Amino acid sequence: MNGDLFLILIIIFVICLFILFARIFWMWHKILRKRQKDESSEKIVSKKLTPKYQLMYGSSYLIVEDGTGDGLQQGFKILRANLQKGANAIVVTRTYPDKVMNKFRLDNVPMLWLSRTEGRRKDAKASGADFKVIEPTKLGMLLDEIKEHIHTQDDSIVMFDGLEYLTVHNEFSRVLKFLHGLEDEIALHRSRLIVAINPKALDDKDRVLLEKEFKILSFSK
């Protein structure tokens, strides 16, 4: 009788041990698959572009200007290269949209002009650039406009030029909160974001926070 009980206990112990090892193996396999999926996603970039112009889907990038404007020029070159490969884009800018369109040859690219002038200019399309005016204090409205674009357009890029203008009219904490929300939307919808800043127009601590938040785009001379 005691022998039978001992045998039963051994069988139960072996079964429990098997279940434990099976669970550990399943958890390890699940973690490994997730890691492989994440690594694979990181390698997804815009189609058939040279490395200089590749942007990873779901990623946000920062261009730190050197005062010459060369970084911003390069940012728009990256934007154009992706547009030529079928991407969609929306530009947020403090510069008057007609000038941006003509300077960087961005035909048919919708733009959001950061200005205290309200509304869409009636002859915007007649002038060449299709744009809407957003007041710099209306960060929620600005985020909604960008979200509407990336929610409805596949393979989209947001080019943001004018962040310093937002910090003039808002506390930096509000602007940073806005950027966090924008980054989340970019990641969720596998879009891409390029933000150009002039470091001289920002406090050092604010610039450092931005540099920690984004991937840095740098360009060799």
pLDDT for the residue numbered 187: 94
pLDDT for the residue numbered 118: 63
- Bridge partners (DSSP) of residue 113 are 93, 133
What integer is the mean pLDDT of 173-179?
95
Report DSSP letters for 48-106, one per residue: T--GGG--BTTEEEEEE--SSSHHHHHHHHHHHHHHHTT-EEEEEESS-HHHHHHHHT-
Tell me how many domains the chain contains.
2
pLDDT tens digit sequence for 32-88: 665 555 544 444 444 555 666 788 999 999 988 766 666 678 889 889 999 988 999
Give the CATH number for residue 86: 3.40.50.300
Q: Are residues 36 and 67 in the same domain?
A: no
CB atoms within 10 A of CB 131: 25
Instruction: Say what the pTM is.
Output: 0.72
Q: Are residues 91 and 7 in the same domain?
A: no
Rounded to the nearest 5°, which phi and psi values hold at 3?
-65, -40
Coil, helix or strand at residue 149: helix
Q: Are residues 117 and 206 in the same domain?
A: yes
Q: Are residues 96 and 132 in the same domain?
A: yes
pLDDT for the residue numbered 47: 52
Q: Are residues 4 and 77 in the same domain?
A: no
pLDDT for the residue numbered 9: 75
What integer is the mean pLDDT of 105-127?
74
CA within 13 Å, CB half, 118: 2
The CA R_g of the chain, rounded to the nearest whole Å, is 25
Range of 4's domain?
A: 1-43
- Write down how long the chain is: 221
Distance between CA 177 and CA 16 in Å, rounded?
Answer: 50
Distance between CA 83 and CA 80 in Å, rounded?
Answer: 5
pLDDT for the residue numbered 26: 77
Q: Are residues 83 and 155 in the same domain?
A: yes
pLDDT tens digit sequence for 137-149: 999 999 999 999 9
Q: Are residues 3 and 62 in the same domain?
A: no
Average pLDDT over the chain reads: 82
Q: Are residues 33 and 112 in the same domain?
A: no
Rounded to the nearest 5°, which phi and psi values hold at 115?
-160, 155
- Percent of the chain past pLDDT 70, that is, above it, reads 77
Least confident of 38-52, 90-104, 131-145, 148-162: 38-52
Of 43, 59, 76, which residue constitutes the final position of a domain? 43
Q: Are residues 25 and 100 in the same domain?
A: no
